[in-house]
Amino acid sequence: MRFIILALSSFSLFLCAACASQPAAPPTSAPAAAEPTRAAPVGVVTATRELATPAQAYVPSEPTNIALSATTPTPTPEQTPLPGAPVPTDSPFVGNYSGILPAADALARVVALDLGVDGSALMTTQFIGKGAPIVESGTWSEVNDLAQVVLTVRDGQPQDNRLSWKLENNQLVPVEYDHAQYGATGLSLHRIGTSIIEQAEYGGVTFSYDTALAQSAQGSTQPAVPADPNVPALGGGAPVNIRFLFDHAAAPDYFNPHLPQVYVYPVAGLMALDPSVAQNVQTLQKILADKTVTPEQDIPIFPVMPASQVFHAQTRFLDFINGSGVSFITAYRQDATALTNQDLFYTFQGLTLDGAWYIAVYWNLSTPALPDTVEAAQKILPADATAEQFEAYLAQTVAILDTLPPAAFAPNLRLLDQLSQSIRAEPELESAAPAPNATAGAPTNANQSANAATSTFEFGGARLAFNSALAQSAQGYNIAAVPVNPNAPALGGGAPAHLAIGFNGDALTADASPFQPAVRIYPTADLNALDPLVAQQVTALQTWLAAKPTTSDQPVPVLPIFNAQQMIHPQIKYLDFKNGQGVRLVTYYAQDVAPIANDGLFYTFQGLTADAKYYVTAFWPLRTDQLPNSYQEANIQDYDAFAKQFEAYLKTTSDQLNALPPDAFTPNLNALDEMIQSIQTPQ
């Protein structure tokens, strides 16, 4: 395995004692456990004491009440009354549960419990860093709203271990159990996942995911970016691709493997991007064909990262709906220092059966087996450790990570693998070729628009295309209705339920800001019912579009209603979109006498579908060199004189802006117009 070792000097390394020994026989009594100071991640049971981490080998100052190996009389299976089986198929207890719990002489213990519909019960207990798990099996039944479990075999030997739980919000809460064996906290376990499955679909790519991972997924088409061999990680180069983000996460400026995301790339585009990328694709093809990877071998990933793959663990070969791939956990570093949870992430790299599409899944991870901070990690492996010490530390850490069950990670690796296995990739991309190399020098606003790639976005039955000079990504939102407050300015921000499309990861709400790029599609009937003033604006727009004036002393009808006055409206142009028409303009709103400046200038489109079923709006902030950037930059020396000439100033400014070509604005008005013309509303 390749790794960059940077200037390591000699230092004595003391590895974590908790990771170097086998489980000791725990004591049988303990003081009350302290409450933890940090909340556990989703799907992980909160421990009742602070867990030891690799940053500090846990040495208990007093005995604890965790005593899994406490000796108790062990009857034979024949002496043990068993609950009835099978259980009702609709029992709410049927399923898989897990928890990360405290341990006396280990970093933590991971408990997994499977309650089968056939009445079988299987419980495994893994002490992190302590070898093989303890395996207990038996039967269970549902009695009086409790899951009653009798575990009759432990590691192949007979026993009689009886437990019962109640179910609260997908959590097994212990009711009856051996306190001497499990301590005061018992075995509080969470269901693995919520069993509520969401379906993501965009551009010919579909997959499903448990809502324990995310509540929503947003797909978009990412334009091609040329590779720059002089910049690390190929300068972020990539062919046109489909990307999914989750829970409306902001689109990153650079690739971040710790941000949950799913990519689908055309293999032809990757092969043409760069020779090193083509070699990585071929390496993955061979790994998947052989179904073999050695610990020393790097598993290639895309996008390329400007660092070295430190390790891979929990490696599994998986089939998805129309392909196969490999999932693993890994970390990338540029130095040889101790690992933390900030480094760890899950990834799946796969190829469709026809070899046409490359799939990449990324998700952030954490586990009690790793410390959370660099400071804690350096207590295990000092920053000036030798290369030999680092290799010994890394080998031990990877061995521990490889022995952990899926439930030892948050989120549970089982849920992430299920997401990866559910992928169907049959994309509908317009082009698989990478973008042409950028020419030297700064491009003008005009050729930025001409050379930029176009992405198509679909959401909720709506569709539009946008130029990469405008945005790198788009996200869809279903905005809930907000009632009008008639006592507040601008109708108190009221809005009906509607569909909205935002850009570059900006989260949208019902409050439509003219300085936040967005397209919104409102049901016209709901606008008319919202407030009489809003209904008047809808009627005014219908009248305006019928007359199509090119100039007017009257303000152009704009929704939402702003608590200010429309000062100018140059660059009026009428545009048809796929199933309707409207008017676009450049405008500026103000409440006082002030110079027109770039910090308040924006583009808007106001339109209606041909059947008047939907009202379409778009807003985008603008700037132009024709205007000062702010009031201060306008440098008004004599405000009284300026105020007296204000009407003339507005006309002059409006005429000047009206005479400018589209590329005198940023972004280019043509790029905005093309996006508007591509809009297709829901039917």
User: Per-block average pLDDT, block size 10, for the chain (683 residues)?
Assistant: 35 33 36 31 30 31 29 38 59 89 85 90 90 91 92 94 91 89 82 86 93 93 83 78 93 88 96 90 94 91 90 96 96 90 97 96 95 90 89 93 91 95 86 36 37 79 91 90 76 84 88 94 96 93 94 92 93 96 97 92 97 97 93 87 94 96 95 96 92
pLDDT of residue 430: 52
What is the distance between the alpha carbons of residues 364 and 362, in angstroms, rounded to a whole number? 7
* Per-residue CA distances from 546 to 163, 579, 607, 615 (Å): 76, 16, 12, 15
Tell me, rounded to whole angstroms, the distance of Cα 509 from its chain centroid.
19
Residues 495 and 456 in one domain: yes
| E strand residue ranges, 504-633 | 518-523, 565-568, 573-577, 580-590, 601-609, 614-621, 623-624
Asked if 396 and 19 count as a contact pair (C-beta separation under 8 A), the reply is yes
Q: What CATH number is attached to the domain comprising 109? A: 2.40.128.640
Residues 515 and 607 in one domain: yes
C-alpha torsion 405→408→412→413, nearest 10: -50
Among 358, 346, 205, 353, CA closest to 282: 358
Q: Which letter does DSSP use for residue 557 in this model?
A: P
What is the distance between the alpha carbons of residues 577 and 514, in angstroms, rounded to a whole number? 20
What six digits make up the tokens of 236?
């972020």
Among 490, 608, 493, 595, CA closest to 545: 608
What six digits make up the tokens of 493?
């921000």
Residues 225 and 325 in one domain: yes
pLDDT of residue 109: 87
Total domains present in the chain: 3
- Is 432 domain-assigned? no
Neighbours of 99 (CB within 10 A): 24
Q: Which letter does DSSP use for residue 295 in this model?
A: T
Query: What are the DSSP calls for 337-360, one per residue?
Result: ----TTT-EEEEEEEETTS-EEEE
Residues 185 and 215 in one domain: no
Look at phi and psi of residue 576 and say left if phi exceeds 0, alpha if psi is from -120 to 50, else beta.
Answer: beta
Residues 409 and 279 in one domain: yes
Phi, psi of 337 (to 5 degrees): -125, 165
What six digits make up the tokens of 623?
């700037």
- H or E stretch covering 541: helix 532-547
Q: Which of 158, 191, 224 is the last residue of a domain?
A: 191
- Is 72 domain-assigned? yes
What is the distance between the alpha carbons of residues 324 and 349, in angstroms, rounded to a whole number? 9
pLDDT of residue 231: 67
pLDDT of residue 6: 34
Neighbours of 673 (CB within 10 A): 16
Q: Which of 145, 166, 191 is the last residue of a domain?
A: 191
- Is 431 domain-assigned? no
Among 208, 210, 217, CA closest to 242: 217
Q: Which of 170, 191, 212 is the last residue of a domain?
A: 191
- Is 474 domain-assigned? yes
Residues 129 and 67 in one domain: yes
Residues 589 and 629 in one domain: yes
Residues 38 and 160 in one domain: yes
- Is 330 domain-assigned? yes
- Is 399 domain-assigned? no
Three-state secondary-structure class, residue 430: coil
Taking CA 245 as the corner, what is the angle to CA 241 and CA 250, rounded to the nearest 5 degrees? 110
Phi, psi of 645 (to 5 degrees): -100, 15
Residues 26 and 147 in one domain: yes
Residue whose pair of structure tokens reads 């793959």 in the numeric block: 309
- Is 379 domain-assigned? no
Task: Give long-range contacts, CB 8 A cutoff, 24+ apart: 164-169.
Answer: 165/93, 165/189, 167/92, 167/93
- Is 393 domain-assigned? no
Residues 90 and 228 in one domain: no
What is the distance between the alpha carbons of residues 237 and 227, in angstroms, rounded to a whole number? 4
pLDDT of residue 468: 84
Domain limits at 92?
A: 17-191
Asked if 309 and 2 count as a contact pair (C-beta separation under 8 A), the reply is yes
What six digits make up the tokens of 512?
């439509």
**Is pTM beyond 0.85 here?**
no
pLDDT of residue 548: 93
Asked if 580 and 607 count as a contact pair (C-beta separation under 8 A), the reply is yes
What is the distance between the alpha carbons of residues 436 and 452, in angstroms, rounded to a whole number? 10
- H or E stretch covering 299: none
Tell me, rounded to whole angstroms, the distance of Cα 541 from its chain centroid.
39
pLDDT of residue 89: 72
Residues 504 and 620 in one domain: yes
Query: What are the DSSP calls for 149-212, one per residue?
Result: EEEEEETTEEEEEEEEEEEETTEEEEEE--HHHHTTT---EEESS-S-EEEEEETTEEEEEETT
* Per-residue CA distances from 200 to 101, 209, 318, 497 (Å): 33, 8, 20, 22
Among 178, 181, 179, 176, CA closest to 147: 176
Asked if 605 and 586 count as a contact pair (C-beta separation under 8 A), the reply is no
Residues 228 and 283 in one domain: yes
